[in-house]
Structures are given as structure tokens and as C-alpha cells.
A = this chain, B = another copy of it.
Amino acid sequence: MSLRYALLGLLAEEPASGYDLAGKFERNLRRYAWHAQRSQIYPELNRLAADGLVSVVEEGARGRRAYAITDVGRIELRRWVLDPNDEPVVRNEHTLKLFLLATLDVEDARKVLRQQAEGSLHEHERLRAAIDQADASGRAPVEFFAAELGARYFLTLHEWATWALSRLDET
């Protein structure tokens, strides 16, 4: 059911079409939080509309339909975000591969860990620069909390990969 709330969350910021939302998933969510294809988004939007959580607010060119979150949708979104939810399920193929590196021989693992250490440091610096630029322009801080978490996450990944490399060197 997370897809439903991801859509509500994106629509809570501004009205958007299914096509727009697919772009938002791609740009803002898929690397850290959630992924969805268009073929999943369109039917779910129709279900959300049928349930009264969103409504069509604009019909544009090429059959475009822009949706907005309703008051009922906002209440339901808030309920879900505030719900403590222990034991959330995580599926991260990238992290899984990092764990399984330890099952390969040392030279294979070293090579990939070096790439990982480098790549995550680069991602960290990219996000940090974007945050600093946004900070300077004096925007509302809460909008950048997610970016800050991303930056810290990639730094942690970098440090972990470096640590894992040193562990492999010990043996």
C-alpha cells in the first residue's frame, strides 16, 4: 500500500498528472525511498480518485488529467505517516550486493568496494553542494531534510566501504 501514500505525498505538495508523478518518482524517490512505473501509477490514481482521496482538478491537452489531494486524502496521508510501523520491509538490491561481496574472493570484492567508496563519496558531494546552494537561497528547511538525509547516507556508505576495504586488507 506504500505506492498509494507516495502518490498522496507527492500530490500534497502540488497537483500533478500521472505523467508528472512518474517523473517525480524518477527524480526524487527511486534512489532512496520508492519506485513506481507508469503502468502502476495510472491505475492507482484511478483507485485513489474512486476512494475520494484525490480529485481531477484540470483536464488538459493530450488527455492530460491533473489530480489534487482532497481533505480526506490529507487526513489519510497524515494518519499513515504518523503511524509508528515497526518492522518496515526494505528491499535494496544495491545493498544486498554489497553484503554478498564478502562471499567473493578478496580481489573481486576489493575492486567493487573501491568503486563503491568512490561513487558514494561523489554522490555525497553532489548532494551536499545542492543543499548548500538551497541553504543560501533561504528556502524552508523542512524541504531539504530529505536531501540532508541522502547526503549523510552516502557519506556513511562511503565510510563503510572504506572500512570494509581495510578489513579485507587485514587478511
Contact = CB atoms under 8 A, between A and B. Distances in A.
A98 interface: yes
A127 interface: no
B146 A152 contact: no
Interface in A115-171: 115, 141-146, 148-149, 152-153, 155-157, 159-160, 163-164, 167-168, 170-171
**Residues of A contacting B: mostly:** helix
Interface stretch (A15-23, A29-37, A46-54, A59-67): A29-37
Interface in A45-85: 77-78, 80-82, 84-85
Given A152-B160, A159-B152, A34 B96 contact: yes
Contacts of A5: 96, 100
Nearest to A12: B103
Contacts of A92: 32-34, 88, 90-92
A1 B156 CA distance: 27
